[in-house]
Amino acid sequence: AQSVAQPEDQVNVAEGNPLTVKCTYSVSGNPYLFWYVQYPNRGLQFLLKYITGDNLVKGSYGFEAEFNKSQTSFHLKKPSALVSDSALYFCAVRRGGGGADGLTFGKGTHLIIQP
Amino acid sequence: DAGVIQSPRHEVTEMGQEVTLRCKPISGHDYLFWYRQTMMRGLELLIYFNNNVPIDDSGMPEDRFSAKMPNASFSTLKIQPSEPRDSAVYFCASSLGRTGGHHEQFFGPGTRLTVL
C-alpha cells in the first residue's frame, strides 16, 4: 500500500522569507509525486510534479520541490513567501508507469504567511 | 477548455434520500476519478474509470454508493439512501493517461454534500 506523510499540520512563515512544506512517501516501485494547493471552498490546483529526470522540479507561482529518493521525500519550497501563498497544500503519490492510477494524498499542511 | 465541471456545487438533503452528483471531464481525457474530502479522513479515492470502464472501486465505502460513466463526457456518483456521515465534499478529476499524457489530475470545484 502507498502512503504520504505531511508531518506538519501548519507552517507559519513571515512574508519574504523562504518556506518549506515537508512530505515523505511510501510506494512500491518508482514514484510519481505531486503537489496541489487548495484555497478555501475551491478545488485542488496542480502545482508541480516529479515523474523522472532532474530531482529539482519547478512549478507554478514560483514553487519548486526536490525529490530525494534515499530519504523518500518530496519537500515543497519557495525562496520568498507571499501572503497570497496562504492556503492548504497537499502532497500526493502514485505508482509510476503507464496509464494512470488513483492518487494517495497526505493530510494536508496549512501554510500561513504573515505580513 | 472549461476544465472539469461538477454539478450541483452544493446539495442539502435529508437522510434516506437519493443523491446524484454529476461530472463532466476535460475533453479528450481518458481517466476519470471520484474523490471524497472530509475533515476526519482527508482526501480519499472512491473509484476511477479508464475509457468509461471502472478500474478500481475498492474505495467505495459501501453498497449505498454507485458510480457510472455512460460515455466519455459524463459520469455520475449516486448515494442511495444517503446518511449524515456521507456529508463531505466530493471531487471529480480527470487526466490523460495514455502514452504522452501528462500524468497530473485536474480537479473540478467539488460538490459540497450535506445530509441532514
Instruction: Tell me which residue has cell 460515455.
Output: B71
Where is B10: in which H helix or E strand?
A: strand B10-13
- Over residues A21-47, the pLDDT tens digits come to 999 999 988 899 999 999 988 889 999
CA distance B68 to B75: 6
Can you say how many angstroms the Cα of residue A11 is from the centroid of all Cα atoms in its chain?
Answer: 13
CB distance from A107 to chain B under 8 Å? Answer: yes
Residue A102 has pLDDT above 90, yes or no: no
CA distance A102 to A40: 23
Chain A nearest-CA residue for B33: A102
pLDDT of residue A30: 87
| A42 grid coordinates | 475551491
Contacts of B45 in chain A (CB under 8 A): 102-104
- Over residues A42-99, the pLDDT tens digits come to 889 999 999 988 999 999 999 999 999 999 999 999 999 999 999 999 999 988 776 6
Angstrom CA distances, B105 to B3, B25, B34, stand at 11, 11, 11
Residue B38 has pLDDT above 70, yes or no: yes
- Over residues B65-97, the pLDDT tens digits come to 999 999 999 999 999 999 999 999 999 999 987
Q: How many CB pairs under 8 A join A and B?
A: 56
CB distance from A108 to chain B under 8 Å? Answer: yes
Of B59, B98, B108, the CB nearest to A43: B108
> What are the beta bridge partners of residue A39?
none
pLDDT of residue A62: 95
Can you say how many angstroms the Cα of residue B32 is from the centroid of all Cα atoms in its chain?
Answer: 8
**Residues A89-113: what's their mean pLDDT?**
89
Strands (E), B28-87: 31-38, 42-50, 53-56, 65-71, 74-79
